[in-house]
Structure 1
Amino acid sequence: MANGCDHPAACHTGEAPVLASATVGARHWLLIEHPGPWAASLDRCRLPGAMRTLLDRAAALGIRGQLIRRPGSRKAAPGPIHVFVASSRSEEPWVAEGFFENPNDLDLDALGHGVVPESCILVDKPVFLVCTHGKRNACCARLGLPLARHLAASLPGEVWETTHVGGDRYAANLVCLPHGLYYGSMSQAAAIAAAHAYRRGEVVLDRFRGRAGIPEPLQAAEHFTRVHTGELSVDGVAVESSWAEGDATVCVVRCTSQRGLSRFRVVVEPTVFSAPCGETCAEAISTYRLAGLSPLMPVST
C-alpha cells in the first residue's frame, strides 16, 4: 500500500480551513508528461535521462517541476518529450506547450524570467492539474483519481493527473494554470464549479486555497478582501504592499471591479485550527484570521 493518509478526518471534508495554503514557491512551472510509476518524490522517480535533465535544470532555476499524465492512462506516450510550461506571476500569466527530442532545446532560462521559450507555443485553454500522487500520500490517489476522471469527462483535453502539488492534507487538490490557483478538499461537484469559474476568469471562494507564488499572509489578505467585497474576478484583487507589525501582517490591497477601484488596509494574524482526527487526537492546522479591514481610498472610474 502507498503511504498512509495522514489527515483522515476534517482535513478532507471541508471542515478545516484551506485559505492561504497555496504553494509559495511555485511561480513558474514545467510539466512533463510521464505515465509513471511515480515514486514518493520526483528525485526517486525512474525517468528517461532527458526528462531527468529537464527536471534538474528546472529545480536549479527555481522552476516548479511536475510529472503529468492523462486521467486513467498509464501508457507511455511515443515520440518526443511532451511538456507544458507556465508562468503564474508574470503580468499576464501564460501557459505554452512544446515537444522535444533534445532537452537542451527548451530554454528554461527564459521560463525562469517569465518569458515564453521560443520553442513553445502559447495555448489558449487552461491546464487543470489534479494531484493523484498515491506514493506520496494515499489520500491523493483515493480522492484525486476519481475526481480527475470526472473532471476530464467534463473538460476533455484540459485535465491532467499530476505529482505532489503541496498540501496533502487538502486532498483532493486542484491547480488551475496559468494563474496557479489552488483549491483543496474538493468534491467532484466543487471541482467542476471551480474549473468552469476559472474558464470564465473567476474564482470560487469555497475551498479556495489561494494563488501560488504569493506569501501566505498575502494570500489571506486577498481572500478576506474578496469575502468583504464579493469580487471574484481572478485579477480583480491584489496586494500592492505589505509589512509586518509583530505577528501581524498589514497589507494594502487593491480591488478593481465594475464599480471602480478601491483600496483596503487589511490586517491578518496567524492562528491555529484544531481538527479532530479521532477520539484521542487533534491536528493543529496553521491558518490566518482577519484582524482588521478598512477602506483606504475608494476611487470612482
Structure 2
Amino acid sequence: MTAAPRCSDLAVDDARAGTAPPGDRWFLVEHPGPWGRVAFAQSGFGPAAVTAMDAWAREVGGRVLLIRRAGRATGGLRRWFRVDSRPGHEEVRTGTWTDDDGLVDALRAPGTVHTGPLFLTCAHGRHDTCCAVRGRPLAAALAAARPAEAWECSHVGGCRFAPSLVALPHGFAFGGMSPQEGVGIAAAYVDGTVDAEFLRGRSVHPPAVQAAQHHARLFTGVRGVDALALRSVTALSSGTWRVVLGDPDVVVEVRERRVEAGRPLTCSATAPGWMREFDLISVAASG
C-alpha cells in the first residue's frame, strides 16, 4: 500500500521567495521535550509564563520558539536566547533558567552577549510530519558540523518547505535543501553570505520586500548578508509594489498574486489552501 504524499513532497515547485515567517525578534527557550502541538502553550509551562511570552511577542513583533539539541540531549542548566534581527541592531543575548519565574524575567534581563550565529532547524513532528522526517536529518548534520551553533526548534512556519532552516541573528529563512546543502548554507552565513537558491526571505521584511530582494540578488549576483538594504517600499496599486534597495542601489517592482493551491498545504490540514506568489515586473540598477 502506497503512503500518501506529504506536504513537502507536493510543494517542490512552490515559490519560496516571500515566504519567510515574520519576526523582528526571537525568544528561544531550551526545552528538551516533549513538545505539544502548540509548542509553548502545550509543553508544561505555567499560564503566567505563557501569557508573558505571548505579550512580549505581540509587543515587539517577536516569535517564541522552543529549542533543543539534536537527539534531545539534556542535563545541566537550560539556556535562553533573545535575538534582535532588525537591520543594524543584530544581536543575540543569552542566559540560563530553571523555573517559569526565571524565564519570564529573561524577557527583559540583560543577559550576556552571545557571539556567533544560531542555526534553527524545525523538527516539530507533532505540528507537522514533514518537519520531523526532513528536519531531523538536517538538524543532525548541522549538529555534527557546528555543534555549538545548531539547534532543533519548534514550529517556524511554512511546513511544506521542510526542512526549514533559520539563520540568526539576521533571521534568514531557508527551505527545501538537503542536509549537505544545509551545512553549506550555514558555512556561507558564517562567512557573511547567503545563497538565493534556497532562501525564503528575511523575517524582518514583509513578503513583497523579501521577494524583491530575491530578484535583486539574482539580478546583481550580490550575496552579502547586509546587501540590498531596504530603502523604501511603495504600493503602486492593489497587489503591486515598488521596492527601493541600497548597497547596491536597485529598484524592483513585483506583483502579488493569491494562488489557490488545490491541495492542503500542511500534512495536518484537511482543506485546500492558498499561496501568496510574486511575479517580477521589473528590476533595474539605480543611482
Q: Is TM more than 0.5 here?
A: yes
CA RMSD of the aligned region, Å? 2.6
Q: Which amino acid aligns with 1:147?
A: L
1:78: how far off? 3.7
1:252 deviates by: 1.1
Partner of 1:227: 218
Contact 2:233 / 2:242 at 8 angstroms: preserved in 1? yes
Change in CA separation of 1:46 and 1:272 when aligned onto 2, cut-off 3 Å: closer
For the residues of structure 2 that align with 1:96 and 1:229, how far apart are their CA atoms?
Answer: 34
Match of 2:146 among 135, 147, 155: 155
Change (3 A) 1:251 1:90: closer
Q: Deviations over 1:95-136 (max 9, x none)?
A: 12111342353243xxxxxxxx42x11111100000001111
Q: Which residue of 1 aligns with 2:278?
A: 288
Partners of 2:87 and 2:280 lie apart in 1 by: 28
User: Is 2:131 the partner of 1:140?
Assistant: yes
- Structure 1 contact 54–103 (Cα < 8 Å) conserved: no
Q: Does structure 2 retain, via aligned residues, the 8 Å contact 1:32–1:51?
A: no
| Runs of 4+ with deviation above 3 angstroms | 48-54, 271-277, 282-285
Query: 2: distance between equivalents of 1:104 and 1:43?
Result: 13
- Deviations along 1:201-254, one digit per CA (max 9) or x if unpaired, are 100111100000210001111111111000100001122011111121011111
Q: 1:78 to 1:217 in 2, by over 3 A?
A: same
- Name the SS for the 1:242 alignment partner: strand
Amino acid at match of 1:207: F
Q: Which residue of 2 aligns with 1:259?
A: none
Q: Which structure 2 residue ranges, 5 or more long, are not aligned?
A: 264-271
Amino acid at match of 2:7: H
The CA distance in 2 between the partners of 1:273 and 1:174, in whole Å, is: 24
What SS class does the counterpart of residue 233 from structure 2 fall into? strand
* Residues 35, 74 of structure 1: 8 Å contact kept: yes
TM-score after normalising by structure 2: 0.86
Provide the C-alpha distance between the structure 1 equivalents of 2:30 and 2:52, rounded to a whole number of angstroms.
Answer: 12
The residue type equivalent to 1:85 in the other structure is: R
> In the comparison of the two structures, how many residue pairs are matched?
272
TM-score when normalising by structure 1: 0.82
Residues in 2 aligned to 1:165 and 1:271: alpha-carbon distance in whole angstroms: 23
Residues of 2 paired with 1:158 and 1:54: CA distance?
27
Structure 1: 5+ residue runs without aligned partners? 109-116, 257-261
Q: What CA distance in whole angstroms lies between the structure 2 residues aligned with 1:264 and 1:90?
A: 18
Aligned to 1:265: 251
Would the alpha carbon gap of residues 201 and 39 (structure 1) be closer, same or farther in structure 2, given more than 3 Å must change? same
- Measured against aligned partners, the alpha-carbon deviations of 1:47-95 in whole angstroms (never above 9, x if no partner) come to 24385465244334242100000001154x444x420110001513011
CA contact (8 A) 1:10 1:275 kept: no
| 2:38 matches 1:41 | yes
2:7 counterpart SS class: coil
State the one-letter code of the partner of 2:32. P
Report SS of the residue matched to 1:42: coil
Structure 1 residues 64 and 216 mapped into 2: Cα distance closer, same or farther (>3 Å)? same
Cα 1:273–1:131, aligned 2, differ >3 Å: closer, same or farther? same
Residue in structure 2 matched with residue 28 of structure 1 by the alignment: 25
Code of the aligned partner of 2:89: E
Q: Give the direction of change, closer, same or farther, for the CA distance of 1:67–1:227 in structure 2 (3 Å limit).
A: same
Trace 1:1-301 onto structure 2 (pairs within 5 A).
7-11=7-11, 13=12, 15-24=13-22, 26-49=23-46, 52=50, 55-61=53-59, 62-73=61-72, 75=74, 77-79=75-77, 81-101=78-98, 102-108=102-108, 117-118=109-110, 120-246=111-237, 247-254=239-246, 256=247, 262-271=248-257, 285-297=275-287
Name the % identity: 33
What is the one-letter code of the residue matched to 1:290?
A: L
Measure how far apart 1:7 and its partner are.
1.4
- 1:287 deviation in Å? 1.4
Which amino acid in structure 2 is aligned with residue 63 of structure 1? G
What code does the residue aligned with 1:204 have? D
Rounded Cα–Cα distance in structure 2 between residues aligned with 1:264 and 1:46: 45
